[in-house]
Amino acid sequence: MMTRALTDTGRLTGLLAGVGLLAGAGLLAPLMAAGLTTDRWAVNALAFVSALLIAFQPGAGTAGAATEKRQRGRLYQALVLLAVASGAAGIGLGHDKAGAFAGVCLLTLFLVRFCRLSGQSAAGVLICLGLTIPLPSHMEAALGPWLAEAEAGLFTGLAQAMGLPIYRLGAQVVSGPVAVTINSACSGAMLIWPALLGFTVAATVRPGPAGQRAAIVAMALPFAFCVNLLRLGVLLVLNFNAPDDVVLAFHDFLGWAIMPLVWVAPILLLAPGLAEGLTIRPRQAVPAALMLAAVSTSAGLQSHMRPAPGADMPTTGLAMPAYVAGWTGHAMAMPDDERRILAADYAVRRLYSGLADDRDVLVTAIYHRDAAQADQHDSYKCYRALGWRVDGPPASRIAPGMWMRTLTVRDHARAQAVTEFILDDAALPAAYRGGKFRLQIVERLSVPEAVRRETAFTFIRAVDAIWGEAS
**pLDDT tens-digit series, residues 327-351:** 888 888 888 878 877 888 888 899 9
Residue 165 lies in a domain: yes
Report how far apart, in Å, the C-alpha atoms of 44 and of each of 40, 275, 315 are: 6, 21, 35
Q: Is 165 exposed, middle or buried (0-12, 13-18, 19+ CB in 10 A)?
A: exposed
336, 462: one domain: yes
| Distance between CA atoms of residues 292 and 48, nearest Å | 8
Residue 348 lies in a domain: yes
Residue 366 lies in a domain: yes
| Distance between CA atoms of residues 468 and 116, nearest Å | 64
178, 233: one domain: yes
Residue 417 lies in domain: 316-470
325, 366: one domain: yes
- DSSP tag of 394: P
pLDDT reported for residue 313: 55
Residue 311 lies in a domain: no
Residue count of the chain? 471
Residue 471, helix vs strand vs coil = coil
116, 141: one domain: no
pLDDT reported for residue 194: 93
Residue 141 lies in a domain: yes
265, 224: one domain: yes
Question: How many domains are contained in the chain?
Answer: 3
Residue 402 lies in a domain: yes
DSSP 38-65: STHHHHHHHHHHHHHHHHTSTTS---S-
106, 141: one domain: no
111, 145: one domain: no
143, 266: one domain: yes
Q: What is the C-alpha end-to-end distance of the chain, expressed in Å?
A: 75
248, 302: one domain: no
Q: Is 22 exposed, middle or buried (0-12, 13-18, 19+ CB in 10 A)?
A: middle
Residue 27: CB atoms within 10 A of its CB come to 25
| Distance between CA atoms of residues 258 and 265, nearest Å | 10
436, 325: one domain: yes
pLDDT reported for residue 275: 65
| Distance between CA atoms of residues 51 and 231, nearest Å | 28
326, 449: one domain: yes
Q: Could you say which residues of the chain have pLDDT below 50?
A: 1-6, 8, 62-64, 469-471
pLDDT reported for residue 428: 83
Identify whether the C-beta of residue 385 lies closer than 8 Å to the C-beta of residue 376. no
